[in-house]
C-alpha cells in the first residue's frame, strides 16, 4: 500500500486525503520511509525535517477531522530546494557559508505551499547558490545521483529536487531556474520542470543568484501536478517587486482545452549546439541524435492532435546566449554574494582578533566553494569601469537581441505567429560523473537551449519525451510568450498522454 501511495500524483494524493480515504500522516509516513530507503543511494537531500513534517501532517488531519476547509495540496509531501528560506529549518543554499543557518521566516513560495496544506519533508541539495549544472559544486557531499543511473549526474542546480521527485522521495518539489536549473535536471531525471515567466511567481525569501533572471517553479512527475502547483504558486506579491499584476488563470482547467490550431515552431538553431570561433563564425556541434528523434516524435504527436507544426523557424541569436549569460550572471552573482560576510548570519571563520576586513575575508575563504569564488572574481573583474561598456552593457544589449527573436516569432501579426516553440531541453542526456564518452563542448554549452528563456524572461517547460537506448530520460521543451504557461502546460499534457498511451501499447 505504501509504495502505491507514493507513486500517485499530487492531485490524486490530495483527493484521497481530503476524502478521508487516507490520512496525511499515513501519506507522510510512506514518503519518509521511501526517502530514507532511496537516500542511501540518491543523496537528494541536505536536510530532512521529520518533526516539522509530522506536525504539519497532523494539522492537516485535524482540519479534515474538524470539517475545516483544506488547501489543494492537502497532505501532499514535497521538498524545497535549499535556496528557499524555511522558518526554523536549516537553509544553506548548498554553501558552506550558510552551514547551519536557520532563517526566521519562510520564502513566499514555501508560505504558499503551506497555505495549500502541502507537507514539507526536507530541503534538497543543489549547486552552491544555484551556480552549476551538475550539482557537483555543492558543499554538502555526496552530491545527488541520477535515479536512472547513479553513475550519472542528476543535473543542476535543482538536481536534488529533480532526483527526489524521480525517486519518489516526496511527490513534488520547489526549484529555482536562472539559466536552466529547473529544466535541465528535470530532463536528466525524467520529470517535469516548469520555469515560469519572470515575475509570475514571487521569489521573496529565495536566496538570490542573478536577480534579473532568477525564477521559481515546480518540479513534478506529471504535467497535471505542475499545473496544480502553478495554481498555488503564481500571483502578484508586493514583496518581490518584479511580480506583475497579471491575471492568473486556473491552470488545471486550461489543461482540459485541446490544442487544435496551435502553431508550434521548430527551429534549426535548437537542433545544433553552436560555439562561436574567435572570428565570430559559428562552429556547429550536432546534438545527441536520440534527442532529435524524441523531438520529432513530439512534433508528430502535436500534429496528430491538431496543432500546426511550422518548420525552419529562425532563432539566429540563440548562439549568443552563453557568453551573454556568462557575463550578466557573474556580475549579478558578485553583487548578490557580497552580503555573506560572517557577521550578520552564516558561518564566521578566523580567530576574531583582526578587524572587520579580516573577518569578512577569512569567513568568505572558508565558507565559499571554488566555483563560487571563481564567479565572484569573474563578476568583479568584468564589472570594472573599463569593461562596463565592453562586456556588461554589451551583454545587456545582447539580451535585447535574444529577446527580439522571440518577439518576432510570437508576434500575432508577424510571419510566424507562433503559440509555442518546441526545442530539446538539453543537447545531451545525463552524463557520467567521470565524463567518459561525453563531448566536453556539449557539457560546457549544455545551457544553450535553456538560458535564452531566462534572458527573454519567457516561460519554458521540460517534459520527459522518451529514453535513449541506454535507458536514460530525454527531455523536450516548450517555450511560449510572456505569461503563456497555460498553453505550455496544455501542449505538454497532450504529448505526455500520447507517450503514455504508446508506452502502454508496447
Partner 1 sequence: MDEVVGEALFAELVQTAAIDLQPDEAEALRKELNLKMEVIRQLEIIPLSDSISPVIHGNPYPPAIRCGLREDKWIPFDAPDAIVRQAPLSQDSFIVSPDVPHQRIG
Name residues contacting partner 1, limited to 28-87 (CB under 8 A): none
Q: Which of 35, 134, 197, 329 binds partner 1 (CB under 8 A)?
A: 197
Q: Which residues pair with 272 in a beta bridge?
A: 286
- Asked whether 373 and 249 are in contact (CB, 8 A), the reply is no
Give me the residue label for grid cell 566553494. 369
Q: Which of 181, 222, 363, 484 is catalytic?
A: 181
- Asked whether 193 and 183 are in contact (CB, 8 A), the reply is yes
Binding segment toward partner 1, per CB under 8 A, in 4-12, 191-199, 419-427, 431-439: 191-199
Site string for partner 1, 104-123 (x = CB under 8 A): xx------------------
Binding segment toward partner 1, per CB under 8 A, in 30-38, 135-143, 298-306, 452-460: 452-460
Other residues' Cβ atoms within 10 Å of the Cβ of residue 315: 20
242 is a contact residue toward partner 1 (CB under 8 A): yes
Rg (CA), the chain: 22
Binding segment toward partner 1, per CB under 8 A, in 13-21, 111-119, 176-184, 233-241: 233-241
- Asked whether 10 and 71 are in contact (CB, 8 A), the reply is no
Dist CA 40 CA 362 (whole Å): 34
- Asked whether 314 and 267 are in contact (CB, 8 A), the reply is yes
DSSP calls for 435-500: -TT--HHHHHTGGGGTHHHHHHT--EEEEEEEE-TTS-EEEEEEEESTT-HHHHHHHHHHHHHHHH
Q: Which is nearer to partner 1, 396 or 497 (CB)?
A: 396
Dist CA 58 CA 62 (whole Å): 6
Q: Which of 23, 53, 79, 81 is catalytic?
A: 81
Query: How many chain residues are in contact with partner 1, going by CB under 8 A?
Result: 81
Name the residue among 28, 30, 33, 71 with its Cα closest to residue 52: 28
Dist CA 194 CA 201 (whole Å): 11
303 is a contact residue toward partner 1 (CB under 8 A): no
Dist CA 45 CA 79 (whole Å): 9
216 is a contact residue toward partner 1 (CB under 8 A): no
Q: Which of 103, 147, 180, 464 binds partner 1 (CB under 8 A)?
A: 103
Dist CA 219 CA 81 (whole Å): 10
- As measured in angstroms, the least distance from the Cβ of 403 to partner 1 is 5
371-430 residues near partner 1, rule: CB under 8 A = 373-374, 376-378, 380-382, 390-391, 393-404
CA 342 from centre of chain = 29
- As measured in angstroms, the least distance from the Cβ of 234 to partner 1 is 13
276-295 residues near partner 1, rule: CB under 8 A = 276, 278-280
Cell reading at 384: 570594472
Told to judge if 157 belongs to the known catalytic residues of this protein, a careful annotator would answer yes
Q: Which is nearer to partner 1, 15 or 358 (CB)?
A: 358
Strand 77-81 to 119-124 pairing:
parallel
- As measured in angstroms, the least distance from the Cβ of 119 to partner 1 is 23
Q: Which is nearer to partner 1, 103 or 464 (CB)?
A: 103
Cell reading at 66: 474538524
Q: Which of 157, 202, 222, 267 is catalytic?
A: 157
DSSP character at residue 290: H
- As measured in angstroms, the least distance from the Cβ of 375 to partner 1 is 9
Q: Which is nearer to partner 1, 117 or 341 (CB)?
A: 341
Dist CA 95 CA 125 (whole Å): 10
- As measured in angstroms, the least distance from the Cβ of 51 to partner 1 is 18
Q: Which is nearer to partner 1, 11 or 320 (CB)?
A: 320
Q: Which is nearer to partner 1, 252 or 374 (CB)?
A: 374
- As measured in angstroms, the least distance from the Cβ of 334 to partner 1 is 8
Can you tell me whether residue 122 is helix, strand or coil? strand
- As measured in angstroms, the least distance from the Cβ of 320 to partner 1 is 5
- As measured in angstroms, the least distance from the Cβ of 137 to partner 1 is 13
Told to judge if 81 belongs to the known catalytic residues of this protein, a careful annotator would answer yes
- Asked whether 143 and 157 are in contact (CB, 8 A), the reply is no
Dist CA 342 CA 209 (whole Å): 18
Q: Which residues pair with 80 in a beta bridge?
A: 123, 174
122-161 residues near partner 1, rule: CB under 8 A = none
Site string for partner 1, 455-484 (x = CB under 8 A): xxxx-----------------------x--
- As measured in angstroms, the least distance from the Cβ of 237 to partner 1 is 8
Q: Which of 102, 142, 257, 501 binds partner 1 (CB under 8 A)?
A: 102
- As measured in angstroms, the least distance from the Cβ of 315 to partner 1 is 14
- Alpha-carbon torsion angle 333, 338, 342, 348, nearest 10: 50
Q: Which is nearer to partner 1, 311 or 357 (CB)?
A: 357
**Within 13 Å, how many C-alpha atoms sit on residue 502's CB side?**
12
314-373 residues near partner 1, rule: CB under 8 A = 320, 322-324, 326-327, 334, 341-348, 352-362, 364-365, 368, 370, 373
List Cβ neighbours of 246 (8 Å cut-off, separation of 6 or more): 199, 200, 236, 483
Name the residues annotated as catalytic. Answer: 81, 157, 181
Amino acid at each position: 500500500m505504501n509504495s502505491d501511495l507514493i507513486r500517485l500524483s499530487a492531485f490524486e494524493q490530495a483527493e484521497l486525503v481530503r476524502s478521508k480515504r487516507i490520512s496525511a500522516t499515513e501519506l507522510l509516513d510512506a514518503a519518509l520511509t521511501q526517502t530514507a530507503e532511496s537516500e542511501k543511494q540518491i543523496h537528494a537531500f541536505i536536510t530532512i525535517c521529520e518533526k516539522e513534517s509530522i506536525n504539519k501532517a497532523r494539522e492537516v488531519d485535524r482540519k479534515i477531522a474538524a470539517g475545516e476547509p483544506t488547501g489543494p495540496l492537502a497532505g501532499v509531501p514535497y521538498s524545497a530546494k535549499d535556496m528557499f528560506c524555511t522558518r526554523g529549518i536549516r537553509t544553506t543554499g548548498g554553501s558552506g557559508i550558510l552551514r547551519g543557518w536557520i532563517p526566521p521566516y519562510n520564502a513566499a513560495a514555501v508560505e504558499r505551499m503551506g497555505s495549500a496544506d502541502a507537507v514539507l519533508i526536507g530541503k534538497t541539495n543543489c549547486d552552491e547558490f544555484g551556480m552549476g549544472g551538475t550539482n557537483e559544486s555543492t558543499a554538502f557531499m555526496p552530491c545527488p545521483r541520477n535515479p536512472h543511473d547513479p553513475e550519472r549526474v542528476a543535473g543542476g542546480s535543482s538536481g536534488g529536487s529533480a532526483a527526489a521527485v524521480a525517486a519518489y522521495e516526496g511527490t513534488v518539489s520547489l526549484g529555482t531556474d536562472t539559466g536552466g536549473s529547473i529544466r535541465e535536471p528535470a530532463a536528466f531525471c525524467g520529470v517535469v520542470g516548469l520555469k515560469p515567466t519572470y515575475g509570475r511567481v514571487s521569489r521573496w525569501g529565495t536566496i538570490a543568484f542573478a536577480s534579473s533572471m532568477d525564477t521559481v517553479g515546480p518540479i513534478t512527475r506529471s504535467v497535471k501536478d505542475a499545473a496544480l502547483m502553478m495554481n498555488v504558486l503564481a500571483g502578484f506579491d508586493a514583496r518581490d517587486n518584479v511580480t506583475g499584476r497579471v491575471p492568473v488563470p486556473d491552470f488545471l482547467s486550461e489543461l482540459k482545452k485541446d490544442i487544435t490550431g496551435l502553431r508550434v515552431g521548430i527551429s534549426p538553431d535548437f537542433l545544433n549546439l553552436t560555439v562561436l570561433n574567435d572570428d565570430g563564425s559559428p562552429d556547429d556541434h550536432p546534438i545527441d541524435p536520440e534527442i532529435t528523434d524524441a523531438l520529432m516524435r513530439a512534433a508528430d504527436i502535436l500534429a496528430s492532435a491538431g496543432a500546426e507544426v511550422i518548420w525552419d523557424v529562425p532563432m539566429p541569436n540563440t548562439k549568443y546566449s552563453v557568453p551573454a549569460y556568462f557575463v550578466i550572471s557573474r556580475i549579478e552573482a558578485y553583487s548578490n554574494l557580497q552580503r555573506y560576510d560572517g557577521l550578520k548570519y552564516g558561518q564566521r571563520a578566523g580567530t576574531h582578533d583582526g578587524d572587520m576586513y579580516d573577518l569578512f575575508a577569512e569567513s568568505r575563504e572558508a565558507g565559499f566553494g571554488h566555483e563560487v569564488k571563481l564567479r565572484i572574481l569573474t563578476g568583479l573583474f568584468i564589472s570594472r569601469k573599463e569593461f562596463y561598456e565592453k562586456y556588461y552593457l554589451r551583454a545587456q544589449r545582447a539580451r535585447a537581441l535574444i529577446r527580439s527573436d522571440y518577439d518576432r516569432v510570437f508576434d500575432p501579426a508577424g510571419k510566424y505567429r507562433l503559440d509555442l516553440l518546441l526545442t530539446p531541453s538539453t543537447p545531451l542526456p545525463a552524463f557520467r560523473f567521470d565524463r567518459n564518452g561525453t563531448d566536453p563542448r556539449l557539457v560546457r554549452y549544455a545551457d544553450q537551449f535553456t538560458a535564452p528563456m531566462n534572458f527573454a524572461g519567457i516561460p519554458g517547460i521540460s517534459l520527459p519525451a522518451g529514453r535513449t537506448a541506454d535507458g536514460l530520460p530525454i527531455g523536450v521543451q516548450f517555450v511560449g510568450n510572456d505569461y503563456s504557461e497555460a498553453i505550455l502546460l496544455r501542449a505538454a499534457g497532450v504529448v505526455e498522454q500520447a507517450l503514455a498511451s504508446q508506452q502502454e501499447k508496447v
